[in-house]
Chain A
Amino acid sequence: MFAFIIRRLIATVLLLIVVSMITFAIFFLVPRLAGQNSYQLASQYVGRNPTRSAILQVEQRLGLNAPIYLQYGRFLRGIVVGAHFNSGTSTAYCPPPCFGYSFKNQQPVWPMMISDVPVTASLAAGAAILWLSGGVAIGVVSALRRGTLFDRFSMGVALAGVSLPIFFTGLISLALFSYKWPIFPNVQYVEITQNPLLWARNLVLPWITLAFLYAALYARLTRAGMLETMSEDYIRTARAKGLPERTVIVKHGLRAALTPIVTIFGMDLGLLLGGAVLTENTFGLHGLGQFTIQAIQQQDLPEILGVTMLAAFFIVVANLVVDILYAVVDPRVRH
């Protein structure tokens, strides 16, 4: 197991390097294929009606006139050993992992990114607990009461949850529960260390909105998996042996049906930790999703690179955790 983890971590590092190379290439090579040069790229970071001299200075400051391989080399070096940046009046050391300085904000990317992680983590964790517990529970009950009103209703709601976009359900929930009936007024992120109750209260609507989408999917997956496993011969055997029904369902039925759930949960959580873009934008939460939108809108390469690599890291780590959990869920995998 230890060797397995080490191998996966090495693969993670290699994967992140490849991701950074691809992102770098897209940012620089695609515009160049369209005929854009570094002077034109620099003109986007100067403001309105700049002089030629101003654009050239910015081109130099951002290092855009250096060869691409040199720019990439500087970037990688910053991640490993850090870099020095001149703020104008002083030189500051940017410790590793240094994702450079934002083209637009001229501040180090890493601290800006890291300050957004708690917001996204709070959103993802809370929603994950809701959708996992709710989705699996509904899926189990639906499978056990197949064909009943509960089954039809819950699967109908699940279909709605999967079909309705978050920017619709989010805005509806705000309209109803923040403005019309101010049960959750003035939704904005409050740090858990500052006020845990307010932190939770302000996240209830985003949690429920996000969980509604995922719970639907998990309910349907769980239902399908349970229907399959509960029709297996070993379930009949367990019942014939006189085991309590609860034990039959949870220990024998659900456990076997959980494998695909665990797989998809890892992917979903990893993706969300990279930024729940729509949810954060709808509720005005300053997480990695908002950071990503802003970075793309401003064509800020250091920020785009930073958030892309961080998101890739979360996905890879989540998948690693999932693979380890397989061994817990399915004893056959251990051998």
Chain B
Amino acid sequence: MRMDNRLQAYLDGELTLEDLPLELRARAREWNALIDDIRDASPAGAPLGLDTRILAALDSAGRRARPAWITWLLRPRLVPVPPAAALAVLAGLFLIVTVLGVPGGDAIPESRVYVQFVVEAPSAETVQLVGDFTEWQPTVELEDADGDGVWSGRVPLLPGVHEYMFVIDGSDWVTDPNAAGYQDDGFGQKNSIVAVSPVSGT
């Protein structure tokens, strides 16, 4: 049923009661009473103990954040290293890899597997990778060394299904058009999905 535009404007706060003709004022008061009724019928707040149940559910789902030091350790990051120090680090890494015997370089300790992410973004200045594995923080920078607009980077991931997106120029969150699958992210976009299989023999 069509409603008088002046009544709609009053209910939107654009007109006062005095702006309405007399025949509409009674209708306006009825609407105010109806809205008061709905408001009065609502609870004041959450029931006692809801917060405890929510936090317990987070615990039982194993979804609570890791301790800060573990998060810090696992967070991928770019570290500027002077050339001399870089040589020393490389030498150290060579020694560690030789001693531990990581097979083929496809896997690293803790059963993580390197996954290559590639996206075409010819006009981008920067491209970052974010996902559940970075706590959705833009800590992984992709590179386009030859300037052909194809950005890529390798990231060690634990086996399982991971959700991710690319961040173009620090602000545009985009889905990977070549992802293996997609998951609605609840914010009007879709996350890209990558499934990581464990490497046998590790």
Do A and B pair up? The answer is no
Interface residues of B (CB under 8 A from A): none
Interface residues of A (CB under 8 A from B): none
